[in-house]
Every structure is written in C-alpha cells, then in structure tokens.
Chain A
Amino acid sequence: MTEKQIQTLMQNLDNDLLAKELDDLTNGLEIDLDSITKKAFTKLNKRRLKMKRKRIYPLVAASLIAVIGISNAYAAEISDFVGSFFNQRAIYSTVVDGSAYYLESPLQLDKESKLENVIFTKDKLEMSLTLTLTEDKPPEISVATANGKIYKPGGYGYDNNRLQLSFWNEAGHNYVFSPTKELKLNIGEKSYSIHLAEGAPVVGSGEIKPAEQTDIGWINVGYKKIDQGVQILTSFTDKDLKLVGIGEPVQKTVTRMFKNEKGIITSGTSSMTKPLLGYDKDKNIYTYNRAKNAVGRPVIQFESQAPADKEIELKIPGLLVGYEKDFGNFDVAIPGLNEEKRIDREIDLKLQKIILQSIKRTSATTAELKFALNTGDTAKVAVQEVSLYSKDVQSGDSVWQGDICTMRISFAEKLKNAEFNVSWPRFVVNGDWTLRIK
C-alpha cells in the first residue's frame, strides 16, 4: 500500500468515524470552544463591517412580508395600544416609522451589476448592489431625487461581490431624508432610474394582539399572525428609541473598534439574537427563528413549526433597543507614563447612565479607560454598548461585558488631551414579555 493510497483513505473518513479518533488525540488538550467562537465572530464582524466615515446600518435585503391591507377596522375604537403602532410601515420583514419606500424586486442594472434592494425612509437610505469591484473601493455612487436632493454613501461594506451602502445627506451632514418613490442612481458614468414601492401601514387588516402586561410601560409589544409564523411589533413612548433586535443577545460580551486611517473605520459585534421559545399547554417546546433569508434590520418576522391549532405561549426574554443620536462630547486628559487618573464623569444615556471612572497610561502610546455601566436607576435596562469615538487618537478597542467596559486607545506619544464623542447607545431591556398566540 502506497503512502498516497493510505493518505487518500484517511483523508476521506466520514466525520462521525473520525470524531472518536480526534477525541482520543485531543484528550488532555484544553480547547476553549467559547473563546474560539468569540474570536472567530469578532474577526468576521470586523471583516464584514469595515466601514468608512460615518457609521452604517447593516443593510436590508429580504423578502416582503405578507402584504397588509389598509383598513378602518380600528377606526372607531382605537385603543392606546393599537394607536401606538400608527405611523409604522412594513417594509421587507421589518417596520419603520413614517413614510417608507422599498424596491419590490431586484433590478438588473447592466450586464455586471444588479440592484438587490433599496430601503428609503425618513432616516434611512440603504441599498445593496451585486457588482465586482475592480479596486478596493466602490466607484463614485450617488442618489438624486426629483426634488434635487443628492445623497452620497456615508459608509459601505463589501463581501462576496455584494456592496452594501448606507447613504447620508452630504449637504446637511445628517441622516435626514425626504423619501420619494422615484430616484436616480448614479454609478460612475452611468445613471439608472429606480422606481420604489410604498411600504404598507402596520395597523391594517391584521389584528395586533398585545403581550401580557409587564411593568415596563414605555414599550408596547404585540404580535400579528402571518402565513408562516408571527410578526412581533414594538412601539416606544420615546420616539427617538428604535428597536434593534428581538430576544436575548447571542453574545454576552460586545466588542467595538474604530480606527482613524484614511477616514474612520468602525466595526462592532453583531446584534444577533437567540431564537425565541414557545410552549404549549403540554409543555412541548417550539422554536421561533427569525424569518429565513430575512436580513432586514431589525427582523420582526419569526417562523416556527408550532401547530396552528394550539395556543402557544411565546416568551420574549428581552429586546435590544437603541438611540441613533449624538449624546455630546467629553474631554479626557492623557496621564503621564504609568500614571492612573480618577475621572468619575457621568454620562447620561437617557435610558441608563455610565461613568468614566479612570484612565491609565499603559505605555508611551497607549492607555486604558474604565467605564462602570448601568449606574442609573432604570430597572431592567442594561447598556450593551455605546459608540465612543475620538478623532484625536489613532484607534480604540472596547469590550463591554456585564457592568464594565474597558477601552484601550492608541495615540501619538505627544497627545495631551483627547475629545470623545458619545453616540448610538444600545441597551438590553429584560422585559420577559409573553405573547399568547392563538
């Protein structure tokens, strides 16, 4: 028997047959699967979310949810609960506030490029294109609307020939948009007319049923039954608050990074949530997964194999929510080598508070900032992460875990003072809502 023959045999062992042999071989090796998984996801997230300049929304691309018709069913006796969902519109498998337009089906632009999806709302203009980049950056792209507004990419991500773009209003330096049905997409020298469809109102023909009462009064949670599962709806008394995800976060520890390098590159841990669990009266358990192929943000459509004729008690352990707004700046004096300075500066994030406790110079060009999280008195709300950005330093990496955040920064040796901007906090709200699905 040749070496090649035995090599071929060995390398084609079925996985299950090999598993035991590997168990024997790795016996005594301490393999920390959690640590490896975390590292692999952090690397993937950094890769996927490489963005430039302003932050970007993960782009939506998903199938359209069941169309919800307009109805006056509730017009006569609109409860406060149902009323709280007014002004929300369904696009793809998510909902947004106010008027909204989306691309109904992918559009072939030319031989090489295809427009996969577009979402255009009052604070969001995002699109996804399939095209091959010839350089390590996208071509000149802009969007023009009939009223003369021009929007340019504020961030992008590129993965597997899919270019994900988030636009901003360059003239206004903001994310304030005037959504319209018609727009012109300019890519390099080429121009394309795009026609968008209007999102459907959430409060329509389908009945929204509320979750069992919890002691959190500032969030309304309810559901609608749709073809394959349920659509979970939320509304907030604070209009600035937005839903980020439904359910318990997959990752307990969140990492963020930024780098000032030919623009600003930022990335962060994914906001994925675990599937929801439903129980029938016999205590059978059913898993509710986010709708397949739905990559909109946040996905509110969940699918399961639960029988249609049984009442299911669907548990929602928590929600991820956030403010997409700026909370101002603070200055930090950089201490001398090996020095540590106490700061104790409180930062109010509306739903919670955090405190910058101290800064310690760890080398000539690095320092470590310590934050205490969840120092406010809002029950059941935990800070998951906050964007802390400084243009004065070269890079920053932060780890958010439990009640502590540690941030390491790198900077030029002569730096005396760094100004940090606080924005886009994200929270975990542990509400333990229950939906009785009939």
Chain B
Amino acid sequence: MNFSESELISEIKKRNLNAYESLIKEYTKPVYYLTYNILNIGNSKEDIEECVADVFLEVWLKINGFDSERSNFKTWVLIITKYKALTYKRKLKKNHVENIDDYQLEESDTVERQIIDRETQKKLLEIINSFNKTDKELFIRRYFYNEKISDIMQSLGLSRSALDNRLLRGRKIIKEVLSYD
C-alpha cells in the first residue's frame, strides 16, 4: 500500500499497521545508511539492524510530537536515527563518550524552506551529480545527513583542510549556478 508523506503521518497517528510497514519500506535506506555510518566500526550487521528497527518503533511512538509546520518529516526521522544510533554506539562501546551536542541538528527556517521549489531541488542535484564521486558523497553526508566532519574525514580518508576545501569549492559552484545570495 502506498501512502503520500502526509497520509503516512496521518495513518501512523491512527495506528495503521500498513502505514508502519510502508514507513519501514520507504525509509529503511536513508535510516540504514546513516546508522551504518555511525555504527559500522566495530559493530555487527545485527546491531545496525536492531538500531534501525528501534528507529521505526520510535517514529511510531513519537509521531504525535512531529510538527509539520516546524520540520520536515524526513529530517525528523533522521534526527531520531542519529540520536538512536548514538545511544547504541554508547551502549555498545561503554568507554567511548560522544558529545550529543555535536549532532544537534538546527531546525530549518520555515519561511526559507517554503521558497525551495522543485526546480531548485532538481538543479541542486544536477550540480551535485556533476561533482566527482568523493565530493558527491561528501555533500550528501554532510548536508543531508548532517554527519560530523570528523566522521566523514575518517571514513573518506581526507584531512580537515582537504574536506573544508572540497565543501567550499562545491558551495561556490552551487551558489553560482543557483544565483543564491
């Protein structure tokens, strides 16, 4: 059964199990990818799957706390993912302490969000797709998933300055093409 995003939210609120199944089907990929990036070092596939499953349960349980006026559903799901994965990471590696503030995602500005039209989105993806493989991954992980710079550095094998340069160069290109202020 296919649901639009608003239907999905509404049906989860009504406790429709088909919507739960649909949520899992639609969001497993981004949730898994983010979880994988946080947990993959030293943890098993089983741990990652448990964490991903917990994310979906949490979305189900906390759906009434989601405010579509304030945030985007996908972003909200990924914030939950990030917290859940970090909790798992702490639990699985008791001596390793992460600062949760490093992962706090700022709420997007609603007015700003409203002016982003589909054409702009398509254009943005075209630009990102024109980047080389590393830069493309870098942009998505940094700006879509809000991954920590240090984690991306580690997994892509880049120095801090190399990573900053790549991000700056990419942002400049995007700014020019989109004529963004």
- B57 A47 Cβ-Cβ under 8 A: yes
CB proximity of B29 to chain A, nearest CB, Å:
5
Instruction: Please determine whether A39 and B49 come into contact, CB atoms closer than 8 angstroms.
Output: yes
Q: Which of B67-97 contact A (CB under 8 A)?
A: 72, 74-75
A134 within 8 A of B: no
Q: What 1/0 mask marks residues of chain B from 151 to 181 whose CB sits below 8 Å from any chain A CB?
A: 0000000000000000100011011001010
* Complex CA–CA separation, A30 to B32 (angstroms): 10
Please state if A10 and B139 are interface contacts (CB–CB under 8 Å): yes
A43-79: which have CB < 8 Å to B? 43-44, 47
From A3, A9, A15, residue with most partner B Cβ within 10 Å: A9
Note all chain A residues with C-beta closer than 8 A to B121.
9, 12-14, 17
Contacts known (A1-B172, A14-B118); A40 close to B112, Cβ less than 8 A = no
Cα(A11)–Cα(B113), bound, Å: 9
Looking at the assembled complex, report how far the CB atom of B143 sits from the nearest CB atom of chain A, in whole angstroms. 4
**Distance between A436 CB and nearest chain B CB, rounded to angstroms:** 27
One of A3, A7, A11, A270 near B74 (C-beta < 8 A):
A11
A30 B45 Cβ-Cβ under 8 A: yes
Confirm or deny: A377 has a beta carbon within 8 angstroms of a beta carbon on chain B: no
Known: A12-B116, A14-B118. A40 touches B56 (CB 8 A): yes
Q: How distant is the Cα of A7 from the Cα of B104 in the complex, in angstroms? A: 13
Interface 9-residue window, one of A18-26, A317-325, A385-393:
A18-26
B24 shortest CB reach to chain A, Å: 5
B7 within 8 Å of A by Cβ? no
CA distance A15 to B137 in the complex (A): 17
For the complex, give the distance between the alpha carbons of A386 and B8 in Å.
Answer: 34
Taking a contact as CB atoms under 8 Å apart, the answer to whether B49 and A21 are in contact is no
| Contact between B50 and A39, CB atoms less than 8 A apart | yes
B45 contacts across to A, CB distance below 8 A: 30, 32
Tell me the dominant secondary structure on chain A's binding face. helix
Interface string of B26-63 (1 = CB under 8 A from A): 10111011001000000001000110111011001100
- Point out the residue from B20, B24, B72, B175 that lies within 8 Å of A12, measured CB to CB: B72
Name the residue on B nearest A5 (C-beta): B180
One of A5, A6, A10, A43 near B57 (C-beta < 8 A): A43
Q: Does A159 lie at the interface of the complex (its beta carbon under 8 Å from any beta carbon of B)?
A: yes
- A9-B120, A25-B137 known; A40 vs B143 contact (CB < 8 Å): no
Asked if B64 is at the interface (CB within 8 A of a chain A CB), the reply is yes
Contact for A29 among B32, B106, B172, CB less than 8 A: B32
Q: Which residues of A contact B148 (CB under 8 A)?
A: none
Chain A nearest Cβ from B71, distance in angstroms:
9
A171 near B: Cβ within 8 Å? no
Cα A9 to Cα B30 with chains together (Å) = 17
Q: Is the CB of B60 within 8 A of A4?
A: no
Chain B's nearest CB lies how many Å from the CB of A387? 22
Name A161's closest neighbour in chain B (CB-CB). Answer: B64
Query: Given B52, B72, B106, B140, which contacts A25 in the complex, CB threshold below 8 Å?
Result: B140
Contact B109 A10 (CB under 8 A): no
Most buried by B among A4, A19, A29, A39: A39
Interchain Cβ contacts within 8 Å, total number: 131
Does A7 contact B108, Cβ atoms closer than 8 Å?
yes
Majority secondary structure, B binding face = helix
B144 touches which one: A13, A15, A32, A43 (CB < 8 A)? A13
Tell me the bound Cα distance from A270 to B167 in angstroms: 48
Which A residues are CB-close (under 8 A) to B36?
29
Q: Is the CB of A1 within 8 A of B64?
A: no
A20's nearest neighbour on chain B, judged by CB, is: B125
Contact of A36 (CB < 8 Å), options: B24, B64, B129, B174: B24
A31 x B17 contact (CB < 8 A): no
Residues of B within 8 A of A35 (CB): 49
Interface pair A36/B53, CB less than 8 Å apart? yes
Give Cα A35–Cα B45 distance, bound, in whole angstroms.
Answer: 11
A26 near B29 (CB under 8 angstroms)? Answer: yes
Asked whether A8 lies within 8 Å of B53 as measured between CB atoms, the reply is: no
> Would B25 and A44 count as touching, CB distance under 8 A?
no
Decide: B33 and A22 in contact? CB cutoff 8 A. yes
User: What residues of B have a CB within 8 angstroms of the CB of A29 in the complex?
Assistant: 32-33, 36
- A5 CB to nearest B CB, Å: 6
Docked Cα-Cα span, A30 to B49, in Å, equals 11
Residues on A with C-beta less than 8 A from B180 are: 1, 5
A147 contacts chain B at the CB level, 8 A cutoff? no
Compute how far the CA of A21 lies from the CA of B15 in the bound complex, rounded to whole angstroms.
Answer: 31
CB-defined contacts of B5 to chain A, threshold 8 Å? 15
Q: Mark A253-273, 1 if CB is under 8 A from B, else 0.
A: 000000000000000001010
Inter-subunit contact A8/B52 (CB<8 Å): no
Residue of B53, B74, B136 with highest tally of chain A CB at under 10 A: B53
- A284 close to B (CB within 8 Å): no
How far is B137's CA from A318's CA once the two chains are assembled, in angstroms? 48
| A146 at the binding interface (Cβ < 8 Å) | no
Q: Nearest A residue to B167 by beta-carbon distance?
A: A3
Q: How far is the CA of A42 from the CA of B56 in the complex (A)?
A: 11
Interface contact B116-A8, CB-CB below 8 Å? yes
Residues on A with beta carbons closer than 8 Å to the beta carbon of B21: 37, 41
5 A-B pairs with least C-beta separation: A39-B53, A1-B175, A10-B143, A40-B53, A40-B56
14 A-B pairs whose Cβ atoms sit less than 8 Å apart in the complex: A3-B143, A3-B167, A5-B112, A5-B180, A8-B112, A8-B116, A12-B108, A17-B118, A33-B24, A39-B53, A42-B53, A43-B57, A47-B57, A159-B15
Supply 17 further A-B pairs (C-beta < 8 A) apart from A36-B53, A44-B20: A5-B112, A6-B171, A9-B121, A10-B124, A11-B144, A12-B72, A15-B5, A17-B121, A21-B140, A29-B36, A31-B32, A35-B49, A36-B32, A36-B56, A40-B57, A44-B60, A272-B17
